[in-house]
Amino acid sequence: MAARKLQVSSLLLLAAAFLCSSCTSLEPGAPDRIVAIGDLHGDLEAARAALRLAGAIDADDRWIGKRLVVVQTGDILDRGDEEESIMALFQRLQQEAPSTGGHVYVLNGNHELMNASLDFRYVTEGGFRDFQDAGGLGPPDSLLESLPAEERARAAAFRPGGPFALQLAERPTALIVGSSVFVHGGILPEHVAMGLDSMNRDVQRWLRGEIPRPEWIQGDRSPVWTRLYSNQPGQAACDTLSAVLDDLGVQRMVVGHTVQGTGITAFCGGRVWCIDVGQAAYYKGQPEVLEIRGDVVRSLR
């Protein structure tokens, strides 16, 4: 089943981005230049370095990307202390970029959805302190009272319906831009059958507190958890990937989630590009991003 491609005129593209954040594709055609950025895990300097490599921001963190499209594939949260600052930076760039014809998209990764599920295993002490003034705490309730005191403000911020969960609810889980599909872990055949727009919408409804957490968002078949295509995929995995891409009508998949020790790596004859290079301080990697210009795909270091 081919993914539905939304036909949005260039004059209405910005409005569509706000009105249809659950939609699979918001680009009316293939942009001249796309840059994808992988996992950042609470490292603001890594985020800035990646955005500068992309040609997206100047020394003052202001948008200079013109018609550039930036896609960040999730996992801004956890393992570092500067998560709120990174979220604020990307939010501001999302507002600045359309004035020059550019766009910035941020996806949800497994760590964003873990925080919405109050799974704080990978939160640093600084990460708990950073959200003490995030709002949403309100009067005590049984859920918050069941948590350690230092976790309550973060829980109030990220639980479904909380102020930062509502920010996450503006993001898609999967996005098609031009001839590429972007997702944190990977799109599997069951996700295509579900429909990517429907998948995005269900996650966003959960984050807004409207429905229970979808069961399919958990486990190793989840689009934010699977490593089928990013952990040395064999022929069977590559065959599955080809079927998924053909059904979606795109040429390639771009994923994060699994650290590639040698830098950005392509598998399956270049049909999947794995862009988590461990550039956050936690992993001690180096800045690197993926550039897509038509059929030419390369890493920038």
CA pseudo-torsion sign 218, 220, 223, 225: positive
Sorted by sequence, the CB contacts under 8 Å of residue 260 that are 6+ apart come out as 230, 274, 275, 276, 277, 278
In the chain, the DSSP E strands lie at 34-37, 69-72, 103-106, 174-177, 180-183, 252-255, 265-267, 272-274, 289-293, 296-300
User: C-alpha angle 223/171/26, rounded to 5°?
Assistant: 95
- Distance between alpha carbon 150 and the CA centroid of its chain, in Å? 27
Active site annotation includes 111: yes
Q: What is the CA radius of gyration of the chain?
A: 18
In this structure, the strands spanning 103-106 and 180-183 are unpaired
270 vs 251: CA distance, rounded Å: 9
37/28 Cα distance (integer angstroms): 22
CA contacts within 13 A on the Cβ side of 180: 30
Catalytic residue among 103, 111, 184, 191: 111
In a 13 Å sphere around the CA of 23, the CA atoms on its Cβ side amount to: 18
Distance (Å, whole) CA 291 – CA 61: 20
Neighbours of 133 (CB within 10 A): 10
| The pair of three-digit structure tokens given for residue 204, joined into one six-digit string | 């966003």
Q: Which residues pair with 290 in a beta bridge?
A: 36, 299
**What are the catalytic residues?**
111
